[in-house]
Amino acid sequence: MNSLKLPYSALIPLLMHYQIEQGVCFLIICHNNFSKKLAFNYLAELAQSFLERYASQIGQASRPYTFIEFETTIRKLMKSYTDTRSPKQLSKINNELADVQRIMVQNIED
């Protein structure tokens, strides 16, 4: 029996995005159809929020889960980026529609 071996990324359509700020790695795993622009906007907002609260404490972290209370902030931020009715998502949809409209107008003019 022949077995088919695929890379892990081919079996599960997920991507990892990361950003390193002040020695802290901010990492997200999302579906490959999730907007890269939104993913990096999320990371930037997450990093900014975290560093505003904990920048002075990063070097003193001596145990796992030192910043566990930040989880509530992560959840709220994640919800705002994944809720299709959120202003961020509506803005993304409007931008994509504007791009489609621009392409259609350009095709008609050509």
pLDDT in tens, 38-91: 888 899 999 999 999 999 999 998 898 999 999 999 999 988 888 766 676 667
The owner of tokens 């902030």 is 73
The owner of tokens 């490959």 is 32
Among 16, 45, 18, 35, residue whose Cα is nearest residue 92: 35
15-42 pLDDT tens trace: 889 999 999 999 999 888 888 888 888 9
pLDDT confidence of residue 43: 92
